Amino acid sequence: MRRRQADIATDPDAFEAFYRRHVDAITSFLARRVADPNTVADLVAEVFVAVLDSAHTYRPGRGSEIAWLYGVARNTLSAERRRAFKETRLADRISGRRPLDSDDLAELEERIDAESLARRAFEAMAGLPDGDRAMLELVVMDQLSVSEAATALGIRQGAARARLHRARRTLRDVPEMAPFVLEGMR
Amino acid sequence: MNYKEHVLMELKAEIVARNQTRRTRVRRRLFTGVAVAGIAAVAAVAVPFLSGTETPAHAVTRNTDGTITLKINEFRDPAQVEKDLARLGLTADVSYVKPGTRCKPGRGDTSDGPSFSKEELASEDPAIKKRIREAIENSPNGKAFKLGRGEVRIDPRHIKRGQTAVMEFTENEDRTSGPDKPRALWQFGGYLVTGQVAPCKVIDDPSWDKMPDPKTNPEAYPPAGS
């Protein structure tokens, strides 16, 4: 298993299989958080570049591939938001000019539309403490299990549960959260 | 091409490139202590040209498929970029200009690039835009320059004897951008000039503040003979 993951960063075919397995999930993940099709397309590229950089951090024993990948995507997104890394900025400057054809745009816009409720819910969550919000995002919006979300964030399950509980309690009565909090309560 | 396939292609190329660098590093370690000439030969495969104390401003690499990768981290010292490319046998003319400006078009004979009428270039018709994009991609200009992740890949096979690879970079010093602040962060133009290349005469570029039409995004490609 460890071997297979390592191959993703060095074997183009293994990477292609991994990419095809997850590219749609990552696109939706980003469309829940970003409303601009060009930015979503660029971030998809950035996330998979980050996969190459951090493939060695994946430990198959500790959670699913998607949980790990969502963790990578979260880090990429916050790096992008902070723009803390020069390298990221440079890649962005180039990938920011990646051409999208009309089919690409249509597909991305459809996805972004489909996630509009989610993006509104994200705004409602903005006031939560970072850690609590992260748990709520991953479990309620991205449909990870609690243990997967704990993996993505690199925290213990107990801590994850506590954060999730606090976040849900805080946002219990916020209307934007209604479609999500309930779903997550099942 | 579908952007997902485009991204996949770029990333697979990146994996291959990284594998090569890794091999080079291993080889270099193995050959430590061998004759200087031997080391020089290895170094020619991947030579980062250090010009600062921290990250290099730019790096020029010869790839095994004959292409040359130019990675620019900081937009300074274009003359050094030209020198480093010359060492790999490529005649280049590199200019860095400030946002809102560009080099005045008509710096030399660009007849090797595709040409379009003003009406075609201004057209919003997706079919015409597609045709323009394809013509650029299929021209020697388009094949000679490709934008990858954080770098420009130059293919000398599409550059004839007597031609110069002319590259113009524009960088925005304010590097903040995002969904709520869409703006151009940088721009690249690459084209081939046959014979003499006139120096870059900086003129205003009012189109800088306008974001490119994402449908065609022509700035992602070498401008047609401009």
| pLDDT for B112 | 67
At B183, list the tokens.
């703006």
Report how far Cα B222 is from the mean position of its chain's Cα atoms.
9
Contact B165, B192 (CB under 8 A): yes
Residues of B in contact with A82 (CB under 8 A): none
Concatenating the DSSP letter of every residue in A113-164 gives: HHTHHHHHHHHHHTTS-HHHHHHHIIIIIS---HHHHHHHHT--HHHHHHHH
For residue B220, count other CB atoms closer than 10 A to its CB.
19
For residue B100, report the phi and psi dihedrals to the nearest 5 degrees.
Answer: 85, 0
Preferred mutation among B1, B6, B7, B167 to probe A, highest tally of A CBs within 10 A: B7
Distance set, CA A20 to CA A12, A62, A138, A160 (Å): 12, 22, 21, 30
Residues B91-117, mean pLDDT to the nearest whole number = 79
Q: Which residue of A has its CA nearest to B20?
A: A10
DSSP letter at A36?
-
For residue B145, what is the enclosing H or E element?
strand B145-148
Q: What is the pLDDT of residue B100?
A: 78
The answer to whether A94 contacts B149, with C-beta atoms less than 8 Å apart, is: yes
Name residue B70's beta-bridge partners.
Answer: B60, B152
- CB-CB neighbors (< 8 A) of A101 in chain B: 1-3, 130, 215
Chain B residues with beta carbon closer than 8 angstroms to that of A89: 175, 185
ipTM over 0.90: no
pLDDT, greater one: A98 or A155: A155
Task: Please answer yes or no on whether B214 and A87 come within 8 Å at the CB atom.
Answer: no
Q: Does residue A172 sit in helix, strand or coil?
A: coil
Is pTM beyond 0.95? Reply is no
Please tell me the least confidently modeled range out of A111-120, B23-32, B150-159. Answer: B23-32
Residue A100 to residue B217, Cβ atoms within 8 A: yes
Q: A93: which chain B residues are within 8 Å (Cβ-Cβ)?
A: 150, 171, 175, 185-186
Residue B35 predicted with pLDDT over 50 = no
Q: Which of A11-20, B17-26, B204-213 is the least confident region?
A: B204-213
Per-residue pLDDT at A9: 85
What is the DSSP annotation of B114-125?
----HHHHH---
| Sheet with strand B151-154: strands edge to edge | B46-47, B58-62, B68-72, B151-154, B145-148
CB contact under 8 A, B212 and A97: yes
- In angstroms, the CA B44 to CA B149 distance is 22
Q: Residue A85: pLDDT above 80? A: no
A39/B185 Cβ within 8 A: no
Averaged confidence pLDDT in chain B:
69
What is the rounded average pLDDT of the residues B183-206?
77
| Nearest alpha carbon to residue B196 among B106, B136, B115 | B106
Q: What is the mean pLDDT of residues B109-136?
A: 73
Report, as an integer, the average pLDDT of B32-42.
30
d(CA B149, CA A22): 20
Chain centroid offset of residue B58 CA: 12
Number of CB pairs, chain A paired with chain B, less than 8 A apart: 117
Compute chain B's Rg from CA coordinates.
19
Closest chain A residue to B72 measured between Cα atoms?
A90
Instruction: Give the pLDDT score at A62.
Output: 59
pLDDT bracket for residue B25 (50, 70, 90)? low
Quick one: pLDDT at residue A60?
63
